[in-house]
Amino acid sequence: MANDLSTRLPQAFSARGDAAVQFPHFINGFFVASRDGRTFENRSPVDGSLIGKVAEGGQPEVDAAVAAARAALEGPWGKLTVVQRVDLLYAVADEINRRFDDFLSAEVADTGKPVSLASHLDIPRGAANFKIFADIIRNVPAETFEMNTPDGGTALNYALRVPRGVVAVVSPWNLPLLLMTWKVGPALACGNTVIVKPSEETPGTATLLGEVMNKVGIPPGVYNVVHGFGPDSAGEFLTSHPGINAITFTGETRTGSAIMKAASNGLRPVSFELGGKNAGIVFADADFDAAVDGIARAAFSNCGQVCLGTERVYVERPIFERFVTALKAKAEAMKPGIPQDKETGIGPLISLEHRSKVLSYYEKARAEGATVVTGGGVPEMPAALSNGSWVQPTIWTGLPETSAVIREEIFGPCCHIAPFDTEDEAVARANDTQYGLCTTVWTTNLSRAHRLAKRIEVGLCWINSWFLRDLRTPFGGSKQSGIGREGGVHSLEFYTDLRNVCVKLY
């Protein structure tokens, strides 16, 4: 297939189904169809309309991508200096920003999220990820030691960071560009080559990025994209391929377990950011309005489809009723609508299939005797949007901690609020989960805040904020929420091997 997506993709995305587009694989610098011609549909979560047909990859496409990645690693890409790689990654970021509107159209078409959100978060961060890690690899120090030798001489030891090799990047659908480049950026900065398997729900920006790579001169085979599903499709063939040197994945814990089993063949390293059932804790001394705003964002942003979102809220009893009333008002003020409408406060879920899952938990909550404070169903939408994946922002109270709604990740715009009386009780409830991704604590007592940050079993603890990120800091989960850390120099630990060089001096 010719490399002509630049004239077709953004136009088709903007039309949202008026002219269905083809989403090919991107292998060795070319856009190619599957050898057997298999495709699947990509539909808009806003109205169910057809966005386009996506090539479904199998073993032949994965084999070709691995071969291309290996050749680039051993050829032109592997021969570049760090400075040359850094300059190219800066060019990638600049080209994403130059084509900001194209990437925005692609992201919004796939996800249905409001333009106001994607334009301020997804696309800027997607570009920034390349510059951040380019700067880090350019400035990262290396260890050097001088030692005495048994013969009375000296030797010099120094460490080299060398690339892992060919890295499989399996990325999710909730923040497609941001989370994909969060992995591709450091992988390329460290000198690896990558094969991206984007979610089948969101093929757009990963495909479009192939054009950017070609435009700025990234050698063919450095960045590859193979579309498809998980089992018996591109995902399984990629993660089990013996030519893959490392696997990084963001998604649900069950899928992570399956990938880990595949990675055990050959003892390949993995980096996982997995599920969460995150707790928010609000003390009576908190800045009340800030806490309500923060929890509303944490529970309902991106229609609740954020791994760092808050689905369990614990509020100190003296302000419990007031807090529930205030959060209810926030939820009910969120207007669903088309992404381009400036008044739209919440978009749809990613698909009708995912909506069925979320609605099943809404039903479980009612069956278990929850008080439905607000929401609990599907909003009434105009006829043109009636086939979209819409759900209401939902708040519950009154459920026991053993409820499925409190124990299991829902990944929708919902939360359960419960009162607590003591600090120890709040910590115990927050830790009573198989997950350990993040928490957010609201209090003006900084001594208490520091105590809780040490006691709550998570990879990330926010105090009086949510989703505030310095990309140089470690990011990842504990327990069933992941393995390893991403961000800053911590990403380098996964994307490089350390090699010691010992030089005998005479």
Per-residue pLDDT of 43-91, as tens digits, reads: 999 999 999 999 999 999 999 999 999 999 999 999 999 999 999 999 9
How many structural domains compose the chain?
2
For the chain, the helix, strand and coil percentages under 3-state DSSP, each to the nearest 5: 40, 20, 35
Structure tokens, 184: 């591709």
Which pLDDT score is estimated for 5?
A: 47
Q: Which amino acid is at 59?
A: Q
**Catalytic choice (307, 415, 438, 461):** 307
For the stretch 441-493, pLDDT in tens is 999 999 999 999 999 999 999 999 999 999 999 999 999 999 999 999 999 99
Strand order in 278-282's β-sheet? Answer: 371-374, 394-397, 414-420, 310-316, 278-282, 438-442, 460-463
At 305, list the tokens.
């489809």
* Residues 421 and 489 both lie in one domain: no
Q: What is the mean pLDDT of residues 186-196?
A: 98
**What residue numbers bound the domain in which 78 lies?**
5-274+482-501
**110 lies in the same domain as 211:** yes
125 DSSP assignment: H
CATH of the domain at 419: 3.40.309.10
d(CA 392, CA 428): 30
The question of whether 311 is a catalytic residue gets the answer no
Q: Confirm whether 223 is domain-assigned.
A: yes
Q: Is residue 476 part of a domain?
A: no
Specify if 361 maps to a domain: yes
Q: Are both 171 and 80 inside the same structural domain?
A: yes
Catalytic residue flag (residue 307):
yes
pLDDT digits (tens, 9 = 90+) for 373-392: 999 999 999 999 999 999 99
Task: Say whether both 257 and 313 belong to one domain.
Answer: no
Length of the chain: 506
**Structure tokens given for 106:** 């692609």
Residue 506 lies in a domain: no
pLDDT value at residue 18 = 44
Structure tokens at 339: 């992404």
**Residues 49, 85 within the same domain:** yes
Q: Which two tokens stand for residue 89?
A: 């990654």
Helix (H) or strand (E) holding 5: helix 5-15
Which tokens in the block code for residue 408?
Answer: 């299991």
The confidence score (pLDDT) of residue 8 equals: 43
0.85 surpassed by pTM: yes
> By the 8 A CB rule, do 33 and 40 touch?
no
Catalytic residue, candidates 95, 200, 201, 273? 273
Considering the domain architecture, whether residues 310 and 366 belong to the same structural domain is answered as: yes
CB 228 within 8 A of CB 206: no
Residues 237 and 310 in one domain: no
Q: Clarify whether residues 259 and 365 are in a common domain.
A: no
Task: Provide the CATH number for the domain around residue 175.
Answer: 3.40.605.10
The C-alpha atoms of residue 364 and residue 496 are separated, in whole angstroms, by 45
Does 497 lie in the same domain as 412? no
Classify residue 327: in a domain, yes or no: yes
Say whether both 65 and 178 belong to one domain: yes
For 491, the enclosing helix (H) or strand (E) is helix 488-495
Same domain flag for 253 and 295: no
Query: Residues 265, 294: one domain?
Result: no
